[in-house]
Structure 1
Amino acid sequence: MSQAENADEALATLNQAALHYDEHYAGATEFGRPLVVSTLTLQRAVGMGWKTFGRRRAILGFASIRLTSPVLGGDTLYAATRILAVADDLADPDCGIVTGEATVTRADGTTVAEVTYDQSIYRHDSGPFAALDY
């Protein structure tokens, strides 16, 4: 997670908290460096799941979001998702609903976020993937 990405996210989302982009100010806080905007950490948690859930149609909702430790510019993040439940998607027979819990860690193993969310996933021979022969 680069500090440039962090500053861009803070400004793009109109987050004016100097803690996210002003290194001089952030240096005087308990963090010592700019703190990554929490929505950017959440984006990474869900986005890194694309490798596992590459046939995702939509995120349906978030049951819980826990930010357990600060993320600073320059931190390397990893995510692993545990499947909690699967169900038929009653609104779309081409999809199933998967509830997953993503755990995001820094390179040192510290957990920085835990996110539980529901997503609609295309079934194997369904959706645009099947139509495009992916």
Structure 2
Amino acid sequence: MTRRIVQRGLYAGEMALGDEFVHQPGRTLTEADNVLFTTLTMNPQALHLDQAFAAGQPFGKPLVNSMLTLSTMVGLSVAQLTQGTLVAQLGLSDIRFPHPVFHGDTLYVATSITDKRESSSRPGQWIVTMHHVGRNQDGVVVGEATRTALMWQSEAVREEAQ
């Protein structure tokens, strides 16, 4: 008999305050990633697109778009935490980028569960707050964000709602 295993995130009931999840593998951000993301999002910032311009700026080379950094930080957490268990993302806050990301840097992310409570208006769903910390290949913090999500409490509750 072959087992069928479906990769999924965790339900709110499987998370505890203080849990820390280390998301592997990391993601190396390339020049192509940066240019594609920046142009797809209609961001004309020369710091991301113009090597000659960036060479004359304080960091001396193009910076990876901070929104790409943020998106990658959240994206790296999906398979382990919210794949198939998320109802909706409610918000992002306390976002900061204390150190730049450059082409060729690898982003590694860890996520801690900082708050969790039952939704007062949506039975069987919980509001979970996560704190994402992104570090480059040298361990330097390059981004942080707090994410609030509406999540199913358990698989049984989710199936009952369908």
3-state SS, counterpart of residue 91 of structure 2: strand
Cα displacement (A) at 1:92: 2.0
1:4-53 residue CA offsets vs partner (Å, 9 max, x unmatched): 11111211222111110112222222222211111111101111111331
Q: Which amino acid aligns with 2:114?
A: L
Amino acid across the alignment from 1:11: T
Measure, in 2, the Cα distance between the counterparts of 1:57 and 1:72: 33
Match for 2:130 among 92, 100, 114? 100
Does residue 117 in structure 1 map to residue 147 in structure 2?
Answer: yes
Q: Which structure ranks higher in relative contact order (CA pairs < 8 Å, sequence separation ≥ 6)?
A: 2
TM-score, with normalisation over the residues of structure 2? 0.73
Residue 9 of structure 1 pairs with residue 37 of structure 2:
yes
Query: Counterpart in 2 of 1:65?
Result: 95
Would you say how many aligned residue pairs link Structure 1 and Structure 2? 130
5+ residue gaps in structure 2? 1-28
State the Cα deviation string for residues 48-75 of structure 1 (Å, max 9, x = none).
Answer: 1113312222210123111111011211
Partner of 2:80: 52
Q: In the aligned structure 2, how far is the partner of 1:91 from the partner of 1:2?
A: 43
* Bigger Rg over Cα: 2
Structure 1 19/63 Cα, relative in aligned 2: closer, same or farther at 3 Å?
closer
In the alignment, the residues of structure 1 paired with residue 119 and residue 72 of structure 2 have an alpha-carbon distance, to the nearest angstrom, of 26
Moved over 3 A (4+): none
Task: Say what the alpha-carbon RMSD is for the aligned residues.
Answer: 1.7
Q: Which residue of 1 aligns with 2:14?
A: none
Amino acid at match of 1:21: L
Q: Deviations over 1:71-123 (max 9, x none)?
A: 11211001101111110022322321111110000010000111012111122
Name the residue aligned to 2:105. 75
Take 2:125 and 2:80, find their aligned partners in 1: how far apart are those partners? 16
Q: Where does structure 1 lack aligned partners over 5 or more consecutive residues?
A: none
Matched position secondary structure for 1:109: coil
Q: 8 Å contact 1:50–1:56 — kept in the other structure? A: no
